[in-house]
Structure 1
Amino acid sequence: MNMSRIDLNLTHVFLALWHERSVSRAATRLALTQPAVSSALKRLRQTCGDELFIRTRHGMQPTVHAIEIAETLELTAETLRSTLSARGTFNPASSPRSFIIGTDGGLDYTVGPRLASRLAADAPDTTVTFRTLSPATLDGALERREIDLALTVGGVTRPDYLSTSLGSFRFSCVWNPDYCSLPDFLDLPTIEKCRHVLIETALRHSTFDHRLRDMGVNRTIRNVVPSFGHLPAFLRQPDTVAIVPDYIADFFRKTAGLTSSRLPDIFGTPGVRMLLPRKSSRDSGIKWLGDLIMEIGVTSGPDDANPAATQSGS
């Protein structure tokens, strides 16, 4: 590819296709229509004299030439972005910029509504996409710049990441009052008697279950579901409960009519952290977004207390 001939806008389209391997997902990432991305891909192919991405049953797969130029374009875009951001000033009131936030642990349920409310008031033309990732894939997504920053309950950390504490949480038990009646506090024998719904990502690595087994308690798992969003429907069964972070319990109390019970204080208080590549800290837009997330908070207690009181930086 002759780098002097390529439109910088086409570079962004190429990189979106490179990361997403899908025209529709690339369009969402860029806040463009699918026809616009298809048209840009056509121009890229003409410029490069190569198909670049070939449609297959597994998505848009890159050609050998696309693989050869991807790293160069990634570095060029990163250098340009860092240079412009370091000297420029991000104006949230007028910027049409798009950001991508990666989350695990269902943190999008608590930060999403709060952030959307602030953006509507302070940055009406700014778009934020939440991408749910597992702790195992979150590190790679940050490194490849598929997300701008990450919110995580996992232990991902690296010297080249800025890691900021956003508080901690406890586990709570949620249930539907139309299908069961439980006390405000659940002891271990009651936990053991209930039927449980488990999130799929916790099936093999549930900290909660490891602690229970260490104490000789085994809960009965009756359903395994893909996400927290499935819980309200599956809790419409007798004596069925789910053990979730307290911020998820708070969300469902407010939106789905569920009730929650406290659990024995034996499961610790896992932390919530925001991760940002150090090289991205020069980007005034990403820095603004990170500061806003720190301001509005991520976790909350049962009464939706101001979470800013629990924040600390590192």
Structure 2
Amino acid sequence: MNSLDHVDLNLLRVFNAIVEERSLTRAGQRLALSQPAVSYSLGRLRTLFDDPLFIRTRTGMQPTPIALELASIVGRALETVREALRYAESFDPAISTRTFRLSLSDAGELAYLPPICEALHRLAPRVKLRVEPLPLAEIEEALRASRLDFAIGNLPVLTSRTRHRLLFDETYVCMTRKRRDLPRGRGIELAAFVNELHVQISSVEHSHHALEDVFRSQGIGRNIALELPHFVALPSVLAVTDYFATLPRRLAQIFARDGRFQIYDLPVQLPQASVTMHWHENFDHDEGNVWLRELMTDIVRRFDERPSK
């Protein structure tokens, strides 16, 4: 068994270069190594893995089946090492190639991902953002293990376990497509609200579960015509039906920008949902984490100042 302590990790760089270049000469040029040095490294790799790894053919060095299996593993390992080394560098958003991982609900993706990406494209064009929505039970460990940099949402169970920042307190409204028989004004009577057909969003977000609990506790039984697991399809459904949907105010404002929908205050008192951003204490002073933290905070908190179309 080969111990990591006795393996030269530079051999993996040589392996990766040969896989991608299919030539010892071009691999050497890419790594600033002579061809004899590359050949020597290939010999060590063959001994390490007990396999020829590459066969010389007229079209270049062709990988063996084992080499093909190793290629993706080695590629991921090298990317992980590069990512780790970036933490040791001074963070400059204009040139950084760092990857950040963010957990968002589907409502968060719809509301905040576009302006976040616009800002990154403008201010940090080489930074990568990977959205990885995780079950609530996995988020704390993912933050601790650096598999996740941030989580944004209504996540009250995490506030005592992670570093966090309150972004805003969300309220809920109901929305339906505009039509002549609708009540005028911003409010709707409870009787009219209950009489309508409704869409229920069965999201994993804590606040949506709390919403359903409040309706039940007040004895408000809605006539559910459609259940959806997320908000993505909601505007398309509402546009062709008379259904009502209860949803976060900010998301309703986005959907209603084209003038198709009417938004009403709910005829029932619902608790506000605190939307917070979470990260791990190990990255309190990490330059990249701090920079993106402040950027996303500014974007999310300034949401209500964005002009309607």
TM-score, structure 2 normalization: 0.67
Match of 1:201 in 2: 203
Partners of 1:174 and 1:105 lie apart in 2 by 18
* Residue identity matched to 2:237: F
Q: Residue 181 in 1 paired to residue 182 in 2?
A: yes
* Identity across the alignment (%): 21
Q: Check the 8 A contact 1:180/1:240 in 2, yes or no.
A: no
- Equivalent position of 1:171 in the other structure: 172
> Which residue, 198, 222, 232 being the options, matches 2:235?
232
Q: Quick one: distance in 1 between partners of 2:150 and 2:47? A: 33
Give CA-to-partner distance per residue, 1:165-201, whole Å, 9 cap, x none. Answer: 1011100112122597344212322221111112232
Query: After superposition, what is the alpha-carbon deviation per residue over 1:145-167, rounded to whole angstroms, capped at 9, x for unaligned?
Result: 33211101121326552111101
Question: Using the alignment, how far apart are the partners of 2:161 and 2:94 within structure 1?
Answer: 31
Following superposition, the deviation at residue 5 of structure 1 comes to 2.6
Structure 1 residue 285 and structure 2 residue 288: aligned?
yes
Following superposition, the deviation at residue 131 of structure 1 comes to 2.6
SS in 1 for 2:288: helix
Q: Is the 8 A contact 1:235 1:241 kept in 2?
A: yes
The 3 A distance-change label for structure 1 pair 203 and 246 is: closer
Summarize the Cα distance change of 1:236–1:207 in structure 2 as closer, same or farther, 3 Å threshold: same
Give how far 1:139 is off: 3.1
Structure 2 residue runs of 5 or longer lacking an equivalent are 17-44, 51-76
Q: 1 CA distance for matches of 2:219 and 2:281? A: 44
1:231 is displaced (CA, Å) by 0.2
Distance 1:179 1:9 in 2: 68
SS in 2 for 1:156: helix
CA distance in 2, matches of 1:167, 1:299: 10
- Give the Cα–Cα distance (whole angstroms) in 1 for the partners of residues 268 and 285 of structure 2: 41
CA spacing shift, 1:285–1:48, aligned 2, 3 Å: farther
Q: Please give the secondary structure, in 1, of the residue aligned with 2:235.
A: helix
Change (3 A) 1:149 1:256: farther
Any conservation in 2 of the 1:93–1:122 contact (CA below 8 Å)? Answer: yes
Question: How many equivalent pairs are there?
Answer: 248
8 A Cα contact 1:2 1:48, kept in partner: no
Give 1 or 2 for the bigger CA radius of gyration. 2
Q: Bigger shift: 135-144 or 97-106?
A: 135-144
Q: Aligned ranges for residues 152-171 of structure 1 at < 5 Å?
A: 152-157=153-158, 161-171=162-172
Amino acid at match of 1:287: V
Aligned CA RMSD, in angstroms, stands at 3.7
Asked if residue 5 in structure 1 is aligned to residue 23 in structure 2, the reply is no
Query: Which residue is 1:94 aligned to?
Result: 95
Shift of the 176–7 alpha-carbon distance from structure 1 to 2, 3 Å rule, reads farther
- The 8 Å contact of residues 173 and 242 in structure 1, kept in 2 or not, is answered as yes
Contact 2:175/2:264 (8 A) holds in 1: yes
Q: Structure 1's 172 and 233: CA in aligned 2 closer, same or farther, altered over 3 A?
A: same
Specify whether residues 193 and 287 from structure 1 end up closer, same or farther in structure 2 by C-alpha distance, changes over 3 A only. same
Q: C-alpha offsets along residues 74-128 of structure 1, whole Å, 9 cap, x if unaligned?
A: xx969x93x863x532111111222111012611222212212211221112221
Q: How far did 1:132 drift?
A: 2.9
Distance 2:12 2:258 in 1: 41
- Match for residue 128 of structure 2? 127
TM-score by length of 1: 0.66
| In 2: Cα distance, 1:286 partner to 1:193 partner | 48
Matched position secondary structure for 1:260: strand
| Aligned: 1:269 with 2:264 | no
Which of the numbers 201, 212, 219 marks the counterpart of 2:215?
212
Gaps of 5+ in 1: 14-44, 51-72, 306-314
Distance 2:292 2:46 in 1: 37
